[in-house]
Structure 1
Amino acid sequence: MSVEPMDRLLGALVDPKVARELKRQVAADLHEQLSAQDGVTAGAGVDAANQRQRGRALIEEAVARWSDAHAGAHGLAPTREQDRALAEVVFDLLFRAGRLQPYLDDPEIENILINGCDDVWISKANQPLCQVPPVADSDAELIELLQDLARRHGGGERSLSTSSPMLALRLEGGMRLQAMTGVTPRPYVAIRRHRVANATLGDLVALGTVDSTMAAFLAAAIRARKNVMITGTQGVGKTSLLRAMAGEIPPDERVGTLESEFELWLHTLGHLRQVVPMEAREGNGERVDGRAAGELSIGELIPAALRMTLSRIIVGEVRSSEVVPMLRVMTNGEGGSMCTLHARTPHMVVDRIAELCLEYGAQMTDLLAYRLTANALDFIVHVTMIDETGIGGKRHRFVSHVLEVTGLGEQGRPALNTVFGPRKGGVDGQGRQIWSEPRGVPQTPPACLDDLRRAGFDAGLLRNPYGTWSAPLSLRVSGVQPGGMGGAA
């Protein structure tokens, strides 16, 4: 039987209507107090920690008044535990994420999916989705909560309303939120956590994402200043791998990161001494020449980034026409830049890049997109997930392919060399069953092997056909026949 977090148990002691009313009272008192101090704008010149400290004191006073009033009206005073629980819930409503907060605080939760206030689902590592209690009493209250979160984000341009029906932001603790309203029948929210927030390549070896052979290869590729694109579907661990590979960049290099919402946080992790973090800016809802006023896209940030004397540029996720300036940076720069891209299979990546390039403008063609790709990229690293939680198994996330881009090939498309890829099972020359391996294992040495050797890579590691995986991936469903070495757990 699972044990509920204490905060959630205490939350069950609280009447949500009472908590909301106290939150409004404290918010008004805090606004009045800060306005009296600052004269013009409430909170100007008062940092967030100071505001929270003042808010905490006002909450304690408000709860004490409510407790006295409740005792007078009902002849029974609330317990100290109930008062403490009420104060915590009011604090969460005022300064954090309200009734969502216990789920944000649970490190095991990977996804929170909200389809209206009373249809809420969570998923934990290696567990299927499960439904949980409502996070608000009405959709209007849920929207109010989201608007509060947007206000606290620090970017005044981020909001949720009929004129701005979509909201994207990063929450405290590293979770990413995407919300929609107005264009959907109810407010819909998806919140995702990067569970591996500060992992190195060595940590990913321990987690089974890569083996030590591939970790050494990827580290050498970064040191050799190869341009890398990490691909895969949503939630497979692209950002975690990108962050781990960035840990191989020499600490004194000056690096720029460009993201729609900060997720990499290379400027806070401490390994790199000079990071210029840039975050795209949403518009304010007013349309000027077909776009929101004040909007700044990643593609528009790239030219300014190039004037910041950066040795490498890292784009957290390429989603649209910014792929063209990104590829040009990779082509014209010193090398060593990285980005991520959504793609279902590694062999779809080239066409996916071409699709995004065509959004750049009428002057772009498939052939030009292919040429840009061939000239810019050195490696495509594809991350795969096999999810067997529905049949009692686990979620397995791992690098399945490392493809080298070796210039233009047939029909003007980029030529790809499979350096690491899955290996099918079978029978060896002595009649022994060979396991089937979906994870990336050495296939063909890269054309740039000498560059990697100069960066410290041991080419002998590529001679082992199964890399340094110690055993087959433990799958409940595999391609190996009964009696083989791979297969069911």
Structure 2
Amino acid sequence: MATDTAQAPAGGYFSTLPVPYDVIAELRHQASLKVSQAAAADGTMSDADRRQHGITIIGKTVAEWALKYEATGQPQLTPEHEAALRKAVYDELFRAGRLQPLLDDPNVENILINGCDRVRVDYADRPSQMWEPIAPSDHELVRLINHIARMGGQGERALTPSTPNLNMRLDDGSRLAASYMITPRPQVVIRRHRTRGQGLDDLVKWGTIDSTLAAFIRASVKARKNVVIVGSQGVGKTSLLRAAAREIPRTERVGTLESEYELYLHEDPEGPEVVPYEGRESNGERGPDGRLMGELTLSDLFPQLLRMSLRRIIVGEVRSREVVPMLHAMNEGEGGSMCTLHARSALLSIERLTTLCLEAGINMSEQLALRLIAQAVDLVIYIRLVDETELVDAQGRPGRKHRFVSHVMEITGIGENGRPSHQMIFAPREQDGRREPRAVPQMMPSSTYLADIERVGFDRTLLLNPWGAWDEQLKTVMPV
């Protein structure tokens, strides 16, 4: 049974503040001038110093405004209102403005913005909701997005007529994509990464995998198997990749390659030694060769990364020409490299990789692409999302989002017609009245694969339980 998506704004600053936005904008302007003057007077002031000094300036600016406000006969502001006003001004000056409450909410998954006043928020624990306007105009929305880029130390990235597309990471690891001048109104999507530093055991607690599959993935990483994690957008591929990568021994030197940092393995004290590379967008201008000046794509960075004396390479997301050096690195190195890929099933990941190889512009034949995939990839893990937040069960209880691995496929070499041969080690099962859509053991891996993971401690008897370590079947509103 479906429920209607809420259309009323869900809240924000103005559910707690008795003043309009233009007051906050004016206070931000006043505080900004004072902070700039202080920074100009002290050339040694760091960003942290500016923020600390800004807190003091904002406090005085708000207090002075509150006295004038009350002198006009308006009700006296409560301490709570003044604190909220100080926070709003601070967020406008040093953080993400009216977006900040959404970035601070741990249950927000996606923020979808269609112009300044059409904002929808996807939550992890409830249906999507409309949100209040996050800027008084589209012009101010663009100013806010460029302000966020500057505050994040990514001043080379901006939404301008010469660069109508902007892609960047936020301080909390979220990913922002924006477009304007090629769309009627500014379009902004912020994809949150609500978790960082989680491991495979955390994914077991969340129901993404069971302890049997966790042990299998852990052993596969330690046995240096090349792993591709696939699924659609927003299902948790990066979270699973990050958790798997934390199983790499801390003594190993690993290279990560991302368009925007999302894995943050280089900041993880529990992870391996990491050499992190991040792509760079252009300044919008083109050189004599027609290439965008200043742009560094993942395929541009790959050759340099390979010179860094690495034992493994991890690509945050393979989506273009970097697929070929990625597969070559998997095939020619010691093994143990990993990446994510957009694909609608484990089987279709082979077709997707083949298509990317053919689109790479190096005149690779389909037969050669398939051979390269068969020789490079050892394991494909497919993760899916079942979103039931718009449904209620027979007792009227709301549904939830279910993220779980459903298939684990071993690539066993080159099969008929030169295509990669494969077998499903884990997959859903329906038997004796029980229906389990999550990945449960189906068969033993190939003898070579099994010997490799047993050598690092895997217990093959774990694969003999037809339901894995799931105590009970997945509870969903509708059958999956």
Q: 1:25 Cα shift?
A: 2.3
- Unmatched segments (≥5 aa) in structure 1: 39-44, 426-432, 480-489
Residue number in structure 2 paired with 1:461? 462
Q: 1:67 Cα shift?
A: 2.6
Aligned length: 463
Matches within 5 A, 1:182-201: 182-201=181-200
Instruction: Determine if contact 1:256/1:305 at 8 Å carries over to the other structure.
Output: yes
Residue number in structure 2 paired with 1:350? 350
Q: Higher relative contact order at CA 8 Å, sep ≥6: structure 1 or structure 2?
A: 2
How has the CA–CA distance of structure 1 residues 25 and 99 changed in structure 2, closer, same or farther, with 3 Å as cutoff? same
TM-score, with structure 2 as normaliser: 0.92
- CA–CA separation in structure 1 for the residues paired with 2:214 and 2:264: 21
How has the CA–CA distance of structure 1 residues 154 and 212 changed in structure 2, closer, same or farther, with 3 Å as cutoff? same
- CA–CA separation in structure 2 for the residues paired with 1:347 and 1:12: 53
Aligned-partner residue type, residue 102 of structure 2: Y
1:144 aligns to 2:143 (yes or no): yes
Residue number in structure 1 paired with 2:5? none
Aligned-partner residue type, residue 216 of structure 1: A
Residue number in structure 2 paired with 1:421? 427
What's the RMSD between the two structures over aligned residues?
Answer: 1.9
TM-score, with structure 1 as normaliser: 0.90
Q: 1:273 Cα shift?
A: 5.0
Q: 1:156 Cα shift?
A: 2.6
Matches within 5 A, 1:307-386: 307-386=307-386
- Match for residue 407 of structure 1 among 402, 413, 423: 413
Residue number in structure 2 paired with 1:430? none
Q: 1:233 Cα shift?
A: 0.4
- Unmatched segments (≥5 aa) in structure 2: 1-8, 393-398
> Secondary structure at 1:389's aligned position in 2?
coil
Matches within 5 A, 1:228-377: 228-272=227-271, 274-288=273-287, 289-377=289-377
Once the two structures are superposed, residues 466-487 of structure 1 have per-residue CA deviations (whole angstroms, 9 ceiling, x without a partner) of 21111111122227xxxxxxxx
> Secondary structure at 1:424's aligned position in 2?
strand
Once the two structures are superposed, residues 222-252 of structure 1 have per-residue CA deviations (whole angstroms, 9 ceiling, x without a partner) of 0000000000001111111111111111111
Instruction: Determine if contact 2:12/2:132 at 8 Å carries over to the other structure.
Output: no
Q: 1:111 Cα shift?
A: 1.3
Once the two structures are superposed, residues 264-300 of structure 1 have per-residue CA deviations (whole angstroms, 9 ceiling, x without a partner) of 1111121135211111111111112333211111111
- CA–CA separation in structure 2 for the residues paired with 1:219 and 1:310: 20
- CA–CA separation in structure 2 for the residues paired with 1:220 and 1:81: 53
Q: 1:367 Cα shift?
A: 1.4
1:25 aligns to 2:30 (yes or no): yes
Instruction: Determine if contact 1:231/1:381 at 8 Å carries over to the other structure.
Output: yes
> Secondary structure at 1:316's aligned position in 2?
strand
Residue number in structure 1 paired with 2:111? 112
Range moving further from structure 2, 389-398 or 81-90: 81-90
1:214 aligns to 2:213 (yes or no): yes
Instruction: Determine if contact 1:315/1:339 at 8 Å carries over to the other structure.
Output: yes
Range moving further from structure 2, 89-98 or 440-449: 440-449
> Secondary structure at 2:347's aligned position in 1?
helix
- CA–CA separation in structure 2 for the residues paired with 1:396 and 1:6: 26
Residue number in structure 1 paired with 2:451? 450
How has the CA–CA distance of structure 1 residues 297 and 46 changed in structure 2, closer, same or farther, with 3 Å as cutoff? farther
1:123 aligns to 2:122 (yes or no): yes
Q: 1:407 Cα shift?
A: 1.4
